[in-house]
Structure 1
Amino acid sequence: MKKLIKAPIRGLTCPNCVKTVKSIINSEKDIYFVDVDLTSELLTIEFGENFNFRRIKKELDSIGYEIIAKDYEIYIENFDENLENYLKNEHLILDYFYDFQTKTLKIEALMQADEIIKNLNKLGYEVHLLDEGKSPFDIEYEKRKKELNDIKRRAILSSILAFPLILHEFSIPLNPIIQLLLVIPIQFYFGFYFIKNAIKSLKFLNFDMNVLISVGTLSAFLGSILHFINPTIFEHVYFSTSGIIISIILIGKFFETRAKFKVFENLKNLYIKKPRKVVILDNGIEKEIEISKLKEGSVFIIKEGNMVLADGEIIEGEGYFDESTFSGEFKPIKKTKGDKIFEGTILKEGYVKAKALKVGNKTILNEILKLSRYAQREKSSLENLANKISSVFTPIVILFAIFVFIFQLFNFGIERALLSFISVLVIACPCAIGIAIPLVIAVAINKSLKNGIIIKNSSALERANSINIIIFDKTGTLTTGKLTLKTKIPYEHLIYLASIEKYNDHPIARAILNAYNGDKFYDVNDFEYIKGEGIRGFVNGRKVIIGNKKIFERENMKITYDLAYYIENFGIFEIEFIDEIKENAKNLIKILKKNYKIIVLSGDNYENVKNVCRELDIKEFYANLSPFDKLKVLEDVKSKGNRVLYIGDGINDAIVLSKSDLSIAVSNALDIVKESGDIILVKNDIENIYNAIELSRIASNKMRWNLFWTFIYNIILIPFAGFYSHFNPIWSAIAMALSDIFVVSNAIYNWTSSKKFV
């Protein structure tokens, strides 16, 4: 089969170029026609199925001729082996990448979009081409909204038809023919939702809720048909049972689907529709380019009312930024030269020029979305337990229902046997087991995002209830971390200290540089930073050391101070800093002490740590600790049977955070990917520490309560439905729907105690 393509080609400068390109292409198999137009720079090729365009493009690229392909973004639900084989074997698709987070397939191809879509549809994939106005979240949102509206319509209309059947059950008898006419659309149109999904499930030997409902209601329907054939077999008809069961379960399904939709809608709201173009400075001239072409290091411009389209650093100007997108802080924050700005925030007032630090998928906003989606995909131990039970639950229920049918058949006849069989199938609630844990996790993640809290590890939520000790790092967690130099240091000393600290980003370094506030620095050689000890090197030819006793011991020097500095030919001197306690820290500790033991670990000197802990009324603390010293203390505390939550700096305290039972990392926003904590605070304040602890505790309670409820519900009611002689299958449907609604309501509502504590 012949194919014809036309594509722009760059790099042609003369007729010899045309000759070279034609020669390379004609050397390939299955070529019928080649034309290269030098004037329009257009390549036309007619070829057969064995033509390898990828090899030709690679060869032409290597000698400076570039065939310009088209880029497409396609939303596709699943990426499997069949799809990958198609992409590999279709030579006109030059490159591809699938983003599992956004379910987006990015393709570079020499094909038209409609041809790609047509081929994928033939393979059985439902796909959507993403245009400028749609994102992957928009596509998924539309699908979920369509599903919600469909369930809502089915629930309402089936309930209208079922209303006369309900009256028939309790007071107003209906002719069996009228019952049949009412039930047919409920069973085979509105209830076809369950039959269709049951057929899909059975293809993979998956016995789910849809199988139970379909078998149960069809049994009632077909049993009633038998009444018309032979009334001696079935004395009564049970059309009303079938119709009412489907209507009630559709109502329950509507509440469940709406809950899931609301959770996704909250996540979608984080995905902001970005403008497709950004203004950059190119050799001092403003130039508008596609956002995809913005590179790290480029200087871009943000005007009042515009969205920031990359993470960057302000190099000129100032303004007030709304960062509520990812920090939960709605009050605009003033930022000036040197401050960091983030994608998705809005410049409410001002004008700035910024240098792009992170673009595309590397930005903080994209990392938040990825981490949140990963957290929802990851399975906690409780969820794994629920899934294991759910996988065997339905087959066990079916076997039990068959046993009940046989038992009732021999003891009470076929009519009672059928009703008991239906009751057992309908009352069983595998759906509630399936959503008991993941729905709580999804709601917790969405609520946390609104407050600038990122849950990286969803399994951490279930551990919150077992915590009995909270260990705090001091600097930057309980205190501001913005040290102020207390010691008066002579200028001739300060310039040496500032010169070496210029290469460090520790709070002590910033305090010394702020105190110096000069622009003259000496040359520095052999700079070395030793974590938990200090720094050393040569400044202007002189040895300089700043740190605690440990770093001086390395130099065979002894000091009596907690913190000191040494300058060759000047001597050793004490140095002290003031670290301000955060507002509301005292209130936080007071509240937490009611339920937890509090410990502070710090690398700071003893006097500073003692003063902070005295102010906060914390009795147990440890000072002058390296990260490994902190780990030893943590392991000692855990060895006594304690369960520990550690709260600290996600980078400096990485090793301690990773070894604790639960960890909260206080972030500086740009380092979210590097953070080691199970939970990360984008907005570093005392209130958010409390919010994170409370949210984790409440989520843990809700997961356990949901799981407990589903187990107790099924253990008690399934045998009751099977053997209580007066049990009506309609009651089974009501009980099942109520169970679903209870689990959903518990997951969504009553998170109020996770509000701020001030």
Structure 2
Amino acid sequence: MGKKFLLPVEGMTCASCVTRVEKIISKTQGIKNVSVNFANEKVSFEAENTDIDLNSIAKELNEYGYKLKVESAFKTNYNSSETKDEYYHELKKDFTISLFFTIPVFLISMLIDLQWFQSVWFFSIEQTQKILFILTTPVIFISGRRFYSVAWNNIRHFSAEMNTLVAIGTASAYGYSSFVILFPESFNHHSGHVYFETAAVIVTLILMGRILENRAKIKSSSAIQELIKLKPSTARLLVDGNETEVDIKELITGQTVIIKPGDKIPADGIIVIGNSTIDESMLTGESIPVEKSNGDKVFAATINLSGSFNFRITATETNSVLGQIIKMVEDAQGTKAPIQKLADKIAGIFVPIVILISILTLISWLILFPESGLSNALVQFIAVLIVACPCALGLATPTAIMVGTGLGAKHGILIRDGENLEIASRISRVVFDKTGTITEGVSFVTDIKLFGVDEEFLLKIAASVETKSEHPIAKAILNYAKNKNIQLSEINNFQALSGFGIQATIDNNPVLIGNRKLMNEFSIDISVAESQIEDLENQSKTCLFVAYNNSLTGIIAVADKIKQTSLEAVSKLSKIGIKATMLSGDNRKTVEKVAAEVGIKDYYSELTPSEKLNHIKKFQSNKEIVAMVGDGINDAPALMQADIGISIGNGTDVAIESSGITLVKGDLLGVVKAINLSKNTIRTIKENLFWAFIYNIIGIPLAAFGLLNPMIAALAMSLSSVSVVTNSLRLRKAKI
């Protein structure tokens, strides 16, 4: 498997740039899955070879006016926000210069035809035109240089994007007006009108729009910055019995950190001395503080509320749970939703089409309205160029995804990418595992039934074999045996039999631990225990059969509590029209009772992983969009088969793995919130795309038919981009 890169790229100004950057990078041999995010100005791609020459890619991009920040690939603490701040300050400086000169240009141009102004204005029309020329020139060549430099690069490579439109439009207005001043005899009184104010106002308004857009884009990605700010800057290390304050970047695994009341925890670790109460809400969304003592895990960025303790570091920076969350959110914000493909295709051919329409507009006005002269035709030509806005198309999807995934992270909902976000919005059925999903997953032993052996012997062989198992029931047996001070035996030939149980040998004697199916598979007679089995199952207890040397030696019954929010979650899913199904490997009576308690009418019991998989396939064959919710321990096939897999964890003790959605908090209401969030986000994307398309569909004809002044067109174009980003920002206040 190759290496994945996520690098900042500067110089993109519209959706057309996205297509171009993707094409340039995709041309490099050994690179695949190139995806550019216009909103956060980053490109992601996979390189088959780890020795890929990033500098050569950067050099080619630079030819087109784009800067690939290669150094960020080799710096763990690269801060792209510094570059964005620098760009913002440059924009503000250019805008200030432009505004300073544009205000007098605009006022003089608007007032020059009024009699009262002419009575106090001491300059002739010719002199006034020269003053406007002098005032407009710095706007074009200082503030507007960014448009022309990029446009020139585009022309050299026979390509075009938004800067090309702005450059052609403003250069046409400025060039034509300058020609009028230099060669006034070539024009009659009507056609000798100048349009310096048009050129100046267009540059100023577009710079203003970019400033507003830049600020809004930064707000849309604020979730990442907020997560980064959760980390403290320093930590107290215990070195040779002395307390030493160090920068958190100097922390390494194995060191011991001192934590006092009110401190932010600087890294992940395990408490070695002391106990406390810790606020983990910033990671899990759970407002109730968590009690911690010796041997418990603590996590970076969480807050110690009371008590003092020392902990040993197990993970720092990017390897911590917080670091993994930041990376997952950042990766998700750099992806595209399938709905964006149409917008990208249109944006790729948008600018050339607009240039063609503007040229046809110019020719049509010259042919159909010759009496209006070249100047009037030129105004409509400029208006068409300026009103067209591929930016809104480029921002419609990524800004909404950035805000949506950021909001999800705040609620402990980690969405892997834009594709999973879109799939989640179309879910028609949610399939739940039982143990650890609908129930707490913290099983406890309730009964032990013995057949020819004593309790100590039964627990010894059962606990010894269960040491190799990851199933929640294994923990229950191990805890029970530990409390009974049972000495464990050495085991050999351990094998997990998915959907059945486990087998191993102790002193060369075969041991089987599992469900009824496992006993039947190995022809173990359990008929002697049928009445006891029925009694236990009627109490919604799970029976674990233990066979030693091919004979039934005992039954260990375990129980599990249903999560408090499971009933509410199933009810809320029903209210939004989503079906709920439970697939479990447990016995029929236990599954039946759990399903009844949480309101699930569609349930299946005693299933193997392959049978769960077949049920998922059956639902999908009926054109249903299926989400599978499980803890990932024995649900892997079903999670992979489902249209979207939702992994559910227990607080911060969760692996940030390959599921489409990961719920940090083990609360099933998170499933409802994830679906509502995705629906809100996709609805926002559709709204953005609608307005972006409608804006261009209406704006371009209005400009072509002479119903839109170029200055109004510039204002409308700038505001269209800002409105799309602002609409996405509304998601931050959405109730999920």
Whether the TM-score (by the shorter chain) exceeds 0.5 is yes
Matches of 1:433 and 1:316 in 2, distance apart?
56
Q: Which of these residues, 458, 469, 474, is aligned with residue 509 of structure 1?
A: 474
Matches of 1:576 and 1:255 in 2, distance apart?
64
Matches of 1:320 and 1:659 in 2, distance apart?
40
Q: Which of these residues, 272, 296, 305, is aligned with residue 339 of structure 1?
A: 296
Check if 1:253 corresponds to 2:210: yes
User: What is the CA-CA distance between 1:678 and the residue it aligns to?
Assistant: 0.9
Matches of 2:485 and 2:312 in 1, distance apart?
23
User: What is the CA-CA distance between 1:567 and the residue it aligns to?
Assistant: 4.2
Matches of 2:341 and 2:385 in 1, distance apart?
24
User: What is the CA-CA distance between 1:389 and the residue it aligns to?
Assistant: 2.0
Letter in 1 for 2:639: L
Aligned to 1:37: none
Aligned to 2:701: 719
Aligned to 1:117: none
| Conserved 8 A contact 1:694-1:753 | no
Structure 1 residues not aligned, in runs of 5+: 1-74, 82-98, 102-123
| Conserved 8 A contact 1:323-1:330 | yes
Letter in 2 for 1:513: L
Check if 1:545 corresponds to 2:512: yes
Pair 495,651 (structure 1): closer, same or farther in 2 beyond 3 Å: closer
Matches of 1:599 and 1:280 in 2, distance apart?
52
Q: Which of these residues, 685, 707, 719, is aligned with residue 738 of structure 1?
A: 719
Question: Which one is further off, 388-397 or 511-520?
Answer: 511-520
Aligned to 2:139: 186
Check if 1:144 corresponds to 2:78: no
Letter in 1 for 2:432: F
Q: Which of these residues, 352, 357, 368, is aligned with residue 314 of structure 2?
A: 357
Check if 1:418 corresponds to 2:418: no
Q: Which of these residues, 486, 500, 522, is aligned with residue 555 of structure 1?
A: 522
TM-score computed with the length of structure 1 as normaliser: 0.76
1:414-451 deviation digits (Å, cap 9, x = unpaired): 22221111111101111111111111111122222222
Question: Which one is further off, 522-531 or 304-313?
Answer: 304-313
Pair 155,301 (structure 1): closer, same or farther in 2 beyond 3 Å: same
Q: Which of these residues, 498, 506, 517, is aligned with residue 463 of structure 2?
A: 498
Matches of 1:258 and 1:678 in 2, distance apart?
30
SS of the counterpart of 1:378?
coil
1:176-233 deviation digits (Å, cap 9, x = unpaired): 3454344333333333333334334445544121111111112111122222223328
Matches of 2:69 and 2:357 in 1, distance apart?
42
Identity over aligned pairs, percent: 34
Check if 1:300 corresponds to 2:256: yes
Aligned to 1:672: 655
Aligned to 1:748: 729
Matches of 2:673 and 2:106 in 1, distance apart?
47
Check if 1:427 corresponds to 2:375: no
Matches of 2:448 and 2:553 in 1, distance apart?
14
| Conserved 8 A contact 1:300-1:355 | yes
Aligned to 2:546: 566
User: What is the CA-CA distance between 1:587 and the residue it aligns to?
Assistant: 1.8
SS of the counterpart of 1:593?
helix
| Conserved 8 A contact 1:564-1:572 | no
Check if 1:199 corresponds to 2:152: yes
Query: Number of paired residues?
Result: 636
Aligned to 2:35: none
Aligned to 2:201: 244
SS of the counterpart of 1:487?
strand
User: What is the CA-CA distance between 1:256 and the residue it aligns to?
Assistant: 1.1
SS of the counterpart of 1:591?
helix
Matches of 2:417 and 2:410 in 1, distance apart?
17
Aligned to 2:172: 219
Letter in 1 for 2:512: I
Aligned to 1:210: 163
Pair 670,615 (structure 1): closer, same or farther in 2 beyond 3 Å: closer
| Conserved 8 A contact 1:638-1:644 | yes
Letter in 2 for 1:483: S
SS of the counterpart of 2:582?
strand
| Conserved 8 A contact 1:470-1:598 | yes
Check if 1:372 corresponds to 2:332: no
Q: Which of these residues, 589, 603, 610, is aligned with residue 592 of structure 2?
A: 610
| Conserved 8 A contact 1:312-1:357 | yes
Matches of 1:440 and 1:710 in 2, distance apart?
14
| Conserved 8 A contact 2:513-2:544 | yes
Matches of 1:338 and 1:192 in 2, distance apart?
62
Matches of 2:92 and 2:374 in 1, distance apart?
36
User: What is the CA-CA distance between 1:622 and the residue it aligns to?
Assistant: 1.3
Check if 1:589 corresponds to 2:570: yes
Pair 577,375 (structure 1): closer, same or farther in 2 beyond 3 Å: same
SS of the counterpart of 1:740?
helix
TM-score computed with the length of structure 2 as normaliser: 0.78
Q: Which of these residues, 440, 444, 454, is aligned with residue 480 of structure 1?
A: 440
Q: Which of these residues, 477, 481, 486, is aligned with residue 520 of structure 1?
A: 486
Aligned to 1:640: 622
| Conserved 8 A contact 1:401-1:424 | yes
Letter in 2 for 1:741: V
| Conserved 8 A contact 1:524-1:537 | no
| Conserved 8 A contact 2:404-2:731 | no
SS of the counterpart of 2:193?
coil
Matches of 1:166 and 1:286 in 2, distance apart?
66
Matches of 1:249 and 1:125 in 2, distance apart?
22
Matches of 1:433 and 1:641 in 2, distance apart?
31
Aligned to 1:704: 686
User: What is the CA-CA distance between 1:137 and the residue it aligns to?
Assistant: 4.9
| Conserved 8 A contact 2:276-2:304 | yes
SS of the counterpart of 1:563?
strand
Matches of 1:285 and 1:161 in 2, distance apart?
64
| Conserved 8 A contact 2:269-2:313 | yes
| Conserved 8 A contact 2:582-2:604 | yes
| Conserved 8 A contact 1:698-1:754 | no
User: What is the CA-CA distance between 1:608 and the residue it aligns to?
Assistant: 1.9
Matches of 1:129 and 1:712 in 2, distance apart?
40
1:382-431 deviation digits (Å, cap 9, x = unpaired): 33332232121111111221121112122223222211111111011111
| Conserved 8 A contact 1:598-1:618 | yes
Pair 666,205 (structure 1): closer, same or farther in 2 beyond 3 Å: farther
Pair 350,236 (structure 1): closer, same or farther in 2 beyond 3 Å: same
Matches of 1:480 and 1:250 in 2, distance apart?
55
Aligned to 2:18: none
Letter in 2 for 1:511: A
Q: Which of these residues, 670, 687, 691, is aligned with residue 669 of structure 2?
A: 687
| Conserved 8 A contact 2:223-2:403 | no
Matches of 1:531 and 1:278 in 2, distance apart?
46
SS of the counterpart of 2:308?
strand
1:343-394 deviation digits (Å, cap 9, x = unpaired): 3334343333434433454322222222223223333323333223212111
Aligned to 2:225: 268
Question: Which one is further off, 312-321 or 421-430?
Answer: 312-321
| Higher relative contact order (Cα pairs below 8 Å, separated by 6+ residues) | 2
| Conserved 8 A contact 1:226-1:234 | no
Check if 1:314 corresponds to 2:281: no
SS of the counterpart of 1:535?
strand
